[in-house]
Chain A
Amino acid sequence: EVQLVESGGGLVQPGGSLRLSCAASGFAFLTYSMSWVRQAPGGGLEWLANIKLDGSGTSYLDSVKGRFTISRDNAMNSLYLQMNSLRADDTAVYYCARERPVTTPFPTRYYFDYWGQGTLVTVSS
């Protein structure tokens, strides 16, 4: 059974840092690209960052570029999100999600087929 379990959320002051983790099990982690997605209170889903299966490439939402860093450890089946310079508007539930490749129609595109339950990050003084 595919499982994604996030951890590391909590209360942090503005300007502070936090590192989120996502433990993956039930599938060959090193063969999938992964993403982080968040949901602010009362808001919708917002994609934040993506990392390729071997960690060779990353992409970010402009509003977190330079503050957040996505990484992975395939030996540990783990995904990470290092968050620095946190602001009040970063308060949200953070989800990790597996990206399923779909090759039809060409070219390959990716969809989030499994998600974790999320971890809450609260940025407040």
Chain B
Amino acid sequence: DIQMTQSPSSVSGSVGDRVTITCRASLAISSWLAWYQHKPGKAPRLLIFAASSLQSGVPSRFSGSGYGTDFTLTITNLQPEDFATYYCQQAHSFPYTFGQGTKLESK
């Protein structure tokens, strides 16, 4: 199985900040990676697919990059509604696997 490792496990920020979350795959997955936002009691939300493509309806302050084994989610101009847990997920092969999550908290 492909292991997905996110860092950091938690990060704090203030409104207007820039935040970066990284995700590393245990083997090369091309650009077959997604990022999700998850708030307690809510459905997870797809933000980025194919490593860098923005899902429809997602604000442009979210962006993704990377290829192979190393990927990054960047949130610029942090907004109050962005405080949540973020997960990466590889779509390369079954079983699909997620990173352990990064909790973005208000500073």
Contact = CB atoms under 8 A, between A and B. Distances in A.
Decide if the interface of chain B is mainly helix, strand, loop or mixed: loop
B95 A62 contact: yes
B91 to A, nearest CB: 4
B34 A112 contact: yes
A26 to B, nearest CB: 14
A59 B95 contact: yes
Decide if the interface of chain A is mainly helix, strand, loop or mixed: strand
**Chain B interface residue number, banded:** 20 to 34
A105 B36 contact: no
A105 B41 CA distance: 33
Contacts of B92: 109
Contacts of A78: none
Interface stretch (B10-18, B19-27, B42-50, B68-76): B42-50
A58 B19 CA distance: 38
A45 interface: yes
Interface string A4-44: 10000000000000000000000000000001010000001
Interface in B49-76: 49-50, 53, 55
A54 interface: no
A118 B43 contact: yes
A92 to B, nearest CB: 13
Contacts of A46: 98
A102 B91 CA distance: 10
B43 A105 contact: no
Nearest to B35: A111
Contact of A45 (B38, B41, B49): B38
Given A105-B30, A109-B50, A115 B95 contact: no
Nearest to B91: A109
A59 B1 CA distance: 14
Given A45-B36, A105-B31, A109-B92, A117 B98 contact: no
B95 A102 contact: no
Contacts of B31: 105
A113 B34 CA distance: 10
Going nearest first, the 7 A-B pairs with the smallest beta carbon separation are A115-B43, A47-B96, A111-B49, A109-B91, A45-B98, A59-B94, A44-B101
